[in-house]
Amino acid sequence: MATIQKQVRMVFDLNKCLGCHTCTMACKSMWTDRNDGQMYMYWNNVETHPGEGYPRGWENLGGGFVDGTLQLNSPLPKIVESYGAAWEYNYDQVLKTGGGDATATHVVPVPAPDGSSAYSSNWQEDIGSGTNPNDSHYFYLPRICNHCTNPACVAACPRKAVYKREEDGIVLIDQSRCRGYRYCLKGCPYKKIYWNPEEKKSQKCIFCYPRIEQKQGNFCVTQCAGRIRWVGYAQDTNSNVYKLVEKWRVGLRLHPEFGTEPNTFYIPPLSPPTFSSTGGPITNTRRIPVSTLANLFGDNASQTQAQREARIQEIFNILETEREKVRAGGSSELVDILVSKSEADRVQL
């Protein structure tokens, strides 16, 4: 593998994600509205967990590495069934202005996802799990390509069309070299590479590299209404991504057992306690079970489930301790970083 001089990283605070999808729309309007083949793609997506995500069931499709060996056993998810076909809304049938004929009573997607296997990128939005009001819970999980340190997509391509840049660790698919074999789709365990059937190429998040090269934050970072994201270089000790991940250690990897060493990190979401099953006094148990979070997040591929749960509890303790300091009138570097009022607080390039 080539020597990576600097590695970009992104941190997401899941305590702040509103599920507003502004990040998704930013990326879509910047990169994936250029031809019909891209319309179904959301290089950045926000999915509700518990939930099957986008593409449907991606966590169990396969790919990544097992004991260091690349797995190419994943099926290729179909566009309509697994991602959801891109649709238009029938504004021209609903509106009276702009030449609309106002024949329909309400806005519907056209074509509408149909039938028992209908699906789309946010089909299970806000559904989550549990029973209301006792322990119902969900949280939002924004995802981009993780620009992994050990990318399965790079390993999968037999003609080296996928590569990891030495100057910043961004993983790209050379569109002039790609011949549409799609082994990279099979290799990526996060299913963050997409097939463009019109251009006949595989395509994915480019980490807004033209912006990064100008020291501008990714569009999904700068547009985020909840101010939940930070971007910077892993080795830059002055960056907030470094402080969050290496110093305060509140960031965890998504599915580290896939073996690709992703460079995106998530601060797990705290949640209020549950009611007892009889609607009685609140319990000591968090609504979002720590076990659910430990299924998703951990530091590295070798941690056990119990170790992951312990790390999540540790992070919760750190967050609550630092928050309490500020409530009591003191100060906390961690809380200051997590608040990050200005864009400069969230982008250190």
Partner 1 sequence: MYSFKGADAMKNAIRTCLKNILFVAVLAVAVSGMSAMGGSGGGMLTITAVYVSGANGLNPSDPGWSSAAEVSIPINRFIDFVEGGGGMMDCNMMGDMLNRTLRVKALHNGSTMYIRYTLSDATQDASVGDTDLFGDAIALEIPYARTTTPPICMGSQADPVNIIMWRGDLAAPQNIVAGGIGTVQVSPDNASQNLSRYQAYSKGVWTVIVARPMTAASSNQIAFTRGLSYSIAFANWNGSNTERNGRKGFSSWHTLAVQ
- The contact set with partner 1 (CB under 8 A) reads 66, 69-73, 75-80, 82, 155-156, 158-160, 179-183, 185, 194-195, 197, 200
In angstroms, give the least distance from the CB of 213 to partner 1. 26
Amino acid identity of 332? S
- Could you give the 3-state DSSP secondary structure of residue 337? helix
If the CB atoms of residues 10 and 152 are measured against partner 1, the closer one turns out to be 152
169 backbone φψ class: left, alpha, beta (φ>0; ψ -120 to 50): left
If the CB atoms of residues 8 and 86 are measured against partner 1, the closer one turns out to be 86
Q: Which two tokens stand for residue 235?
A: 């080795």
In angstroms, give the least distance from the CB of 152 to partner 1. 10
Contact partners, residue 65, CB within 8 Å, separation at least 6: 71, 150, 152, 258, 259, 260
In angstroms, give the least distance from the CB of 80 to partner 1. 8
If the CB atoms of residues 139 and 195 are measured against partner 1, the closer one turns out to be 195
Residue 111: Cβ within 10 Å count: 11
Contact partners, residue 348, CB within 8 Å, separation at least 6: 230, 231, 232, 233, 236, 238, 239, 240, 241
CA angle in degrees (0–180, nearest 5) for 259-9-122? 75
In angstroms, give the least distance from the CB of 55 to partner 1. 9
Amino acid identity of 104? A
In angstroms, give the least distance from the CB of 85 to partner 1. 11
Amino acid identity of 182? R
If the CB atoms of residues 123 and 181 are measured against partner 1, the closer one turns out to be 181
Contact partners, residue 67, CB within 8 Å, separation at least 6: none
If the CB atoms of residues 18 and 118 are measured against partner 1, the closer one turns out to be 118
Cα–Cα nearest to 68, from 230, 257, 239, 325:
257
Cα–Cα nearest to 14, from 42, 41, 43, 47:
47
If the CB atoms of residues 65 and 230 are measured against partner 1, the closer one turns out to be 65
In angstroms, give the least distance from the CB of 206 to partner 1. 20
If the CB atoms of residues 202 and 348 are measured against partner 1, the closer one turns out to be 202
In angstroms, give the least distance from the CB of 181 to partner 1. 4
